[in-house]
Structure 1
Amino acid sequence: MKARSWWLMISIGLGILLNPLNSSMVSIAIPRVQNAFRLDFTAVSWIIFSFYIASAIAQPVMGKASDLFGRRKIFLAGLVVAFIASVSAALSPNFGWLIVFRVVQSIGTSMMVAVGMAIVRIHITEKQATALSVLSIFLSGAAAIGPFIGGLLIHWWDWPAIFFVNVPFAAASFLLAWRTIPEDDALAPVVPDESFRKWFEWIDIPGILLFTAGLITLLVGLLSSKSSGHISFENIIVGLIGLMLLAVFVRHEFKAPSPFIPVLTFAKYPVMTWVNIQFMLVNILFYSLFFGLPSYLQFVRHVSEFQTGILMLSLGLCSLVVSPLAGWWIDKSGTKPALFMSAVLMTLGSIWIVTWNQTSPLFSVCLALAAFGIGNGLNNVGMQAALFHSSPKEIIGVASGLFNTSRYLGTILSSLLIGIVMGGEFSIAGFRWLGMILTVIALSLVIMCWRRPESGEWHES
């Protein structure tokens, strides 16, 4: 591979790692942010919700926008947006502004993720599999070491450090990308009529607004009732309005000429739908531990941010180590054994959480993290393979987009679950309840994996 190709991969890699890095570092920073702004966990959880809701919306939209404006321009613009948002977030005067800048940061980093892989596919013609695997290392490696980096930074400084650390990555990526990413070829007109109305329909602005408003309104209704300690008439009305908006969104997507989320695809390919549901449940399990455990360790067990980061590192490293082994196993035996083993490990990890008490050794925490980490590594490869087996080749692009949407929805639901179970304060009793709920979800995955056919039978007839 030519030297210029390697520099291109490095420039793209330094940019796309900002999304998983910023979604993972925050797990360690939540207790500090909570103390700094005098919030309960229900309120501070919006620092998680905002990032994933914005990512779920921005990535498909920016993928479409790159067809209009060019991938190089979108990537460079994303770096500028992420740079400004990161500095602004670190200097936020209050929690409201922190959420605003967190959303902008998510949009900026999503701009790079949405087009980074495409840039490599287009401009690196030799050894493309190697190039894409290198980018995968940037993505998965950033997610794995994010909690460790977050713990280290917060230990030596404070929560703003997790935003300032983006500055050198964004600056280095911009300088390299400016020199190495070629100019886009002449762009074909993807919108036949360049009027604002046609562009409005092509991006599906009404669908995006309905999806965002419905999801946020439903979350507000659910979390407000938990924060107040009782379910009021106002909470019920807000929640119902959220559900109504989501129902209107689904109805709109059936009729939209270019839907934001093509729900008709789910109806047409039910096997693929089950893959996405299973993937969403997996992410609820994984991220409930990923976001809940640091707060449990720091508030209940009084473990330092640095030690918490080291403990959480075992979760990511187990996923990284197992992923290539999972690929070999799945190539040899299909997806069913790997996914079944993953569900069993997460079930055992969830049951183990229920046994914890105030004096349980930290080694027992490592055992649960190892079980979830290995399970996640098996799932990352297994669910992707199951998606390919269940999706016709002609819609694999749409299927991959829906797959990422399932990931984000699982992550959002995991944060919602933690907020509902824990409410305003983390406790050992609350964490045990969380473990019981995770056990039920994990057992449902075991049953789904056991009953599903072998991977070769997932194709639609």
Structure 2
Amino acid sequence: MLLGSVLNPVNSTIISVALVPIGRALGAPAAQTAWLVSALYLATALGQPVVGRLIDLFGPRRLFLLSTSLVGVAGVVGTLAPDLGVLIAARVLLGLGTCAGYPAAMALVRSEAERTGRDSPGGVLTALAVANQTVAVIGPLLGGLLIAAGGWRATFALNVPLAVAAVLLGLWRLPKPAPASTPARRGDLVARLDLPGMGLFAATLVSLLLFLMDLHPRFWYLPVITAVAAAAFTVRELRAATPFIDLRVLGGNTPLLATYGRALVAYVVSYAFLYGFTQWTEEGYGLTPFHAGLVQIPMFLLAIGVSLFSGRRPGVRGKLLVGAVGQIVACAVMLTLGGTSPLWLLLLVALVFGVPQGLNSLALQNSVYVQADPGRTASSAGLLRTFAYLGSMVASSATAGSFGPRADTAGMHHLAWLMLGAGVLFALLTCCDRSLGRATTTAGTTPA
């Protein structure tokens, strides 16, 4: 569960220090290498809820093994890629291949709780959040080490042994689905999958994400496609007997919708820092990829400590409020940085960001576990990741728009102002959400 769920964050973050070396090696500017970030999130944002729904219906084992095998294939393709286009294709495969890990883990946690009759799944939710946070933060350092040892291609080759290990562990440990009492007919399976709903969801999300990747008036038709596809998707899901996303239930679950909104805003700040700040430390401040990764160590250490300290404490509201303050303070300090700033100030920014890094993801994950329909735990967890990736796409677009051809200090300050605005919005969404008090009370029966 832990290994499968961290395949996505390790690939999300390890690329942050590889963007500059890849651009230099392949002769691509920052605006083009940004597609290496966008491609993974586009594929994963679409695939997470789809695979999550398949896991809800058919169990995690087959989906986990199939998707994780694709990660190994993507690692080979990326390692041997001759140009940027093939490298982007490898990132798409990685996005699709890492879709099953997190929804499968959440579904297994829920099924184990139901099997044992315990409301609390032990420390697994905390371990899951800590593992994802640890890998997400250590990714830049790991990437710097791999680039120093074997060049940027080593960051793709890493996926091969990870995928092999995950598949072998999955074959050994993941429970096999119980045999059905009567064979399911093909038509019944198709109806339960709601393929038209999935197709309309894909059209809505892809057109929206493509627009977010490059906010330009010449792409005016993309939001039009998004609106039409979203309207058709809504009509379809409200009429379907077994909808892909039950909008009637989701629409009545205001706390869960608020959690998704907070996730989007939180990850705008988180990923803008991860990619934008890291690129600036290399190009605007002059650090090597390895040293740029080392700057992230304070965030790595503090995020782990914060997650472990707060993981078994009940409630989510306090975590979100402290995380909101941490985001705002860190963004404000970023506005004071320049090319001649002392190194300790960069380390201070990373240290402050460790607080929201350790709290927000944990609190959002546990909110979904408490608020979601138990029968749709995997797909609800997938949707959480989808909203997080929407935030990452906004962050990627903001980073590309702020920097242009080079990650200079002026662009970093522009990005910091955008991050500060998103951080303030996150704080307001948290302060004004009265349902968090009820989530806190309910969450007291879980380890979060």
| Fold match by TM threshold 0.5 | yes
1:245 pairs, out of 226, 229, 235, with: 229
Could you tell me how far 1:39 is from its partner in structure 2? Answer: 2.7
Selected match of 1:156 from 149, 152, 155: 149
Tell me the equivalent position of 2:54.
65
Indicate the residue corresponding to 2:422 in structure 1: 441
* Residue 383 (structure 1) aligns with: 364
TM-score by length of 1: 0.83
Aligned partner of 1:203 in structure 2 is: 193
The structural deviation recorded for 1:241 is: 3.2
SS state of the match for residue 286, structure 2?
A: coil
Please tell me whether the aligned partners of residues 219 and 416 of structure 1 are also in contact (alpha carbons under 8 angstroms): no
Equivalent of 2:103, from 84, 89, 114? Answer: 114
Separation in 1, partners of 2:354, 2:282 = 20
The aligned runs of 1:156-235 (5 Å cut-off) are 156-187=149-180, 193-195=185-187, 198-221=188-211, 223-224=213-214, 231=217, 234-235=218-219
Task: Report the residue type matching 2:51 in the other structure.
Answer: M
**Shift in Å, 1:382:** 2.9
Q: Secondary structure at the match of 1:110?
A: coil
Deviation at 1:436, TM superposition (A): 1.0
* SS of residue in 1 equivalent to 2:405: coil
* Contact persistence 1:339–1:449 (CA under 8 A): yes
Paired residue for 1:304, among 277, 288, 292?
A: 288
* Residue of structure 1 equivalent to 2:92: 103
Letter matched to residue 273 of structure 2: L
| 3-state SS, counterpart of residue 337 of structure 2 | coil
| Aligned length in residues | 437
Q: Deviations over 1:356-392 (max 9, x none)?
A: 2221122222222222220221222333444456557
Aligned AA (1:165): L
Whether 2:266 is the aligned partner of 1:282: answer yes
Change (3 A) 1:110 1:224: closer
Change (3 A) 1:254 1:431: farther
Q: CA deviation at 1:76?
A: 2.6
Give the alignment of 1:84-103 within 5 angstroms.
84-103=73-92
Q: SS at 2:412's partner residue? A: helix
Partner SS for 1:45? helix
Does residue 16 (structure 1) correspond to residue 5 (structure 2)? The answer is yes
Unaligned runs of 5+ in 2: 442-448
Do residues 456 (structure 1) and 433 (structure 2) align? no
Cα shift readout 1:110-145 (whole Å, capped 9, x = no counterpart): 233332454577689789524555555443332232
Amino acid at match of 2:291: Q
Alignment of 1:372-451 (within 5 A): 372-387=353-368, 399-451=380-432
Deviation at 1:261, TM superposition (A): 3.5
Structure 2: distance between partners of 1:118 and 1:338: 24
Within the candidate set 133, 145, 161, 1:140 is matched to 133
User: Contact 1:75–1:116 at 8 Å: present in 2 too?
Assistant: no
Residue among 64, 69, 72 paired with 1:80: 69
Distance change in 2, residues 1:261/1:69 (3 Å)? closer
Rounded to whole Å, the distance in 1 between the matches of 2:383 and 2:365 is 12
Normalised by the length of structure 2, the TM-score is 0.85
The structure with higher relative contact order (CA 8 Å, sep 6+) is: 2
Tell me the alpha carbon deviations over residues 218-273 of structure 1, each in whole angstroms, 9 at most, x when there is no partner. Answer: 444454565xxxx4xx4323443344434433443333444334333342122332
Taking a change above 3 Å as real, the CA distance of residues 118 and 300 of structure 1, as seen in their structure-2 partners, is same
Query: 1:61–1:203: 8 Å Cα contact kept in structure 2?
Result: no
% of aligned pairs identical?
27
1:178–1:238 CA distance, 2 compared to 1 (3 A): closer
Is residue 323–residue 380 contact of structure 1 (8 Å, CA) maintained in 2?
no
Unaligned stretches of 5+ residues in structure 1: 1-11
Task: Classify 1:317/1:211 alpha carbon distance in 2 versus 1 (closer, same or farther; 3 Å).
Answer: farther
Distance 2:95 2:280 in 1: 26
**Equivalent residue number for residue 8 of structure 1:** none
CA contact (8 A) 1:343 1:445 kept: yes
Contact 1:222–1:235 (Cα < 8 Å) also in 2: no
Give me the whole-angstrom Cα distance separating, in 2, the residues matched to 1:259 and 1:425: 46
Q: Residue 213 of structure 1 contacts residue 242 of structure 1 at CA under 8 Å; is this kept in 2?
A: yes
CA distance in 2 between counterparts of 1:219 and 1:77 reads 26
The whole-number CA distance in structure 1 between the counterparts of 2:112 and 2:370 is: 28
Alignment match of 1:129 (pick from 116, 122, 134): 122
Inter-CA distance 259–405: structure 2 relative to 1 (3 Å threshold): farther
SS in 1 for 2:186: coil
Alignment partners' CA distance in 2, 1:392 and 1:216: 26
Structure 1 residues 184-225: Cα deviation after superposition (integer angstroms, max 9, x where no partner):
321467x96413xx5444333333333333433344445456
Cα–Cα, structure 1 residues 27 and 258, in superposed 2: closer, same or farther, change >3 Å?
farther
1:272 aligns with 2:259: no
Distance of 1:136 and 1:459 partners within structure 2: 18
Is 2:356 aligned against 1:367? no
> Within the alignment, does 1:45 sit opposite 2:45 as a pair?
no
Residue aligning to 2:24: 35
